[in-house]
Structure formats: structure tokens, C-alpha cells
Structure 1
Amino acid sequence: MNVEQIYKDANALLEGHFKLSSGNYSNFYLQSAKVLEDPKTAKLLAEALAAQIKESGIKVDAVCSPALGGIISGFALATALDVRFIFAERVDGQMTVRRGFEVSEGENYIICEDIITTGGSALEAAKQVEAAGGNIVAYAALANRGFCSRVGSDLQAQDNCKLPLDKPLFALEDFTFKMYTPDECDFKDIAYKPGSRGN
């Protein structure tokens, strides 16, 4: 499966000047919402991701995604794994599991995002699940920006990866675009922020 081509065909691999949700900047942006607006494509990608997870032998009871970006990919993955799905969302800046969702003691969860960059939002969602008694058995995403190490890739985790090294990350592809900190970026004033936060 050529995930990069799928993003290109959906006009979801953007080139320009972008501000990322991490606060950093890049000349490239993955707009997963454009890929996932086609249910057939979402199903295809989720089934490929689920196949990796099933092959690993990890026992999964449910999938949790951080809103907003991870909801469609997480729901599609839960469907492919035939398990329950919940999501966490920000309330006054704090990631929270609400809307009547319950986490049972000892339930095994995968935290699923559309894109894993440093994994900060995924980790916030994971902490909420753990606080309610759930176990995090793995992380998953359609694409990995290359800062965290995923199953099946030779890339090593970098210092800015926030995901725990003792939990596997499953993803379909690595996208290793250059990122710039605010101090390094010379196009901050014209950067576009196409993601779900702060627009």
C-alpha cells in the first residue's frame, strides 16, 4: 500500500508554510481529513492498520482517540478490530473523557491518531484512560511524522517523541518532513494553520 500516494491523490499532502499544532513549523502538512472523507479509503487504511495490530497478538478491548483529528481514524480502526470506541476531548485546555464514556478497570486500549508527530495529544488521552483504570497496550496512527519509532520501521525515536518507549506504535508510513522551531522559522508571519486547533 502506497500511503503517500493515497495522500497525494486526495490532495492531502500539502506544500507551503504551515504552523503545526505542536507550535513548530513545516513546509509540508498532512491533511488527513481529506483522505478520510472517503469512507472506502478510511476503511482500507484502517484494515491495513488493524492487520498489523492483529499480527502482533496484542489483546485489544477498545480504541480511544483524541478529538478532533483522531476521531475518524480511531472509529475506523475500532470497526476493523471489532472493538468499542471512545474519544477524549479538550475541556478548558485539559484532555478529558466525558459524554458518558466509561473505562472499565483492566480494559486494554489502543490510542489512535490520524497523524503522530511527537505524540503529545495521544499521550494526554492515554493518561485519562489510565486514570480511569484502563491499560494502554499500544498507540496507532495512519502516518508517523518520524519523531517516534514505529513497528516495522528502522527510524529511531528522537528526543522530542513523547510516547513511552515500552509501548508499540503501529502506523502505515513514515513522513519525515523537516520541522522548524519558532526560533528557526523565518516565515512565521505568513504560516497557515490548517489543523483542527486554533483556526
Structure 2
Amino acid sequence: MNLEQIYKDAGAYLEGHFLLSSGNHSQFYLQSAKVLEDPILTGVLCDKLFAKIAEAGVEFDSVCSPALGGILAGYELARAGKKRFIFTERVDSVMSLRRGFSVKEGERFIICEDIITTGGSALESAKIIESLGGVVVGFAALANRGFCSVSGLNNERKDSCKLPADKPLFALGNFEFEIYPPESCPLCKNGSKAFKPGSRGNA
């Protein structure tokens, strides 16, 4: 599977000058919402993602995703595996479990995102699941942004990865883009202004 081509064909592989949630800048951005707007394609991708998890022998009971970006990918992963699905969401900037969702003692979870960058939101969701007696057995995403190590790819884990090193991360592909602190961004030095394309903090 050529995940890069899938993102490009969907208009989800963006080139420009982007302000990331971390505050850093990049010339490239993955807008997974453009991939996920196609239900058939999303189903195919999540079937393949579930197959990777199954091949690794990781068994789980349920899937949990952080809202908003992870919901569609997580729901489709749960469908592929015939599992239960729940999601966490931010309330006053704090990740929370609401809407009557519950976690059983010992219930095994995969935390699923559309894209894992440093894994901060996924980790917040994992901590909620564990605080309620659940067990996080792994993480999953359509795409990995190169900071965390993906099971089966053996790519280097960067210091900025927030996911626990003892839990596997499953993804369909790995994208590594140069990122720049604002003060040393070559795009800024050329007179360009960074644009924030993601879901958080945008109108």
C-alpha cells in the first residue's frame, strides 16, 4: 500500500507553510480529514490496520479515540475488529470521558488516532482509560509523523515521542517532514507567514 499516494490523491498531503500544534513550523501537513471523508477508503484502510494488529497477536476488547480527529479512524478500526468504540473529548482543555461511556476493570483497549505526531492526545486518552481500570495494550493510527517508532517498521523513536516505549504503535505508513522552531524557520525568513490548518484552535 502506498499511503503517501493515497494522501496525495485525496488532497490530504499539503505543501505550504504550516503552524503545527507544537508551535513549530513545517512545509508539509497531512490533513487526514480529506482521506476520511471517503467511507469506502476509510474502511479499507482500517481493515488493513486491524490486520496489522491481529498479525502481531495483540488482542483487545475495545477502541478509544481522542476527539475530534481520531473518531472516524477509531470507529472504523472497531468495526473491522468487531469491537466496542468510545471516545474522549476536551472539556475546558482537559481530556475527559463523557456521554455515558464507561470502562470495565481489565478491559483491553487500543487507542486510535488518525495521525500520531508526538502522541500527546493519545497518551491523554490512555491515562483516562487506565485511571478507570482499563488496560491499554497498544496504539494505532493511519499515519505516523516520524517521532514514534512503528511496530514492524523499526524507525527511530525520537526524544519528543510521548507514547510509552513498552506499548506497540501500529500504523499504515510513516511520514518524516522537517520541522522548524519559528525563530529559525527558513520559510519565515523568506517572508512567508505560517498558517494553522488543523482542527484545534481554528475557526
Q: TM-score, normalised by structure 1?
A: 0.97
Structure 2: how far apart are the matches of 1:10 and 1:126? Answer: 30
SS at structure 1 position matched to 2:158: coil
Distance in 2, matches of 1:19 and 1:62, equals 33
Which residue matches 2:185?
Answer: 185
Matched residue, 1:128: 128
- Which contiguous aligned blocks of 4+ residues in structure 1 show a shift greater than 4 angstroms? none
1:131 Cα shift? Answer: 0.7
SS of 1:170's equivalent in the other structure is strand
Letter in 2 for 1:155: N
Q: Distance in 2 between matches of 1:69 and 1:98?
A: 17
Distance 2:184 2:151 in 1: 31
| Structure 1: unaligned runs, 5 residues or longer | none
User: Which AA in structure 2 matches 1:93?
Assistant: S
- Provide Cα deviations, 1:66-121, integer angstroms capped at 9, x if missing partner: 11110110101111111000001110110001110001110000000000010011
What pairs up with 1:1-199 in 2 under 5 angstroms? 1-185=1-185, 187=188, 190-199=193-202
Counterpart secondary structure, 1:114: strand
**Alpha-carbon distance in 2 for matches of 1:67, 1:90:** 8
Kindly tell me the number of residue pairs found equivalent between the two proteins. 199
Q: 1:134 & 1:35 partners in 2: Cα distance? A: 30
Q: Give 1:152 deviation, angstroms.
A: 1.3
TM-score, length of structure 2 as denominator length: 0.95
* RMSD across aligned positions (CA): 1.2
> Could you list the runs of 5+ residues in structure 2 that have no partner in the other structure?
none
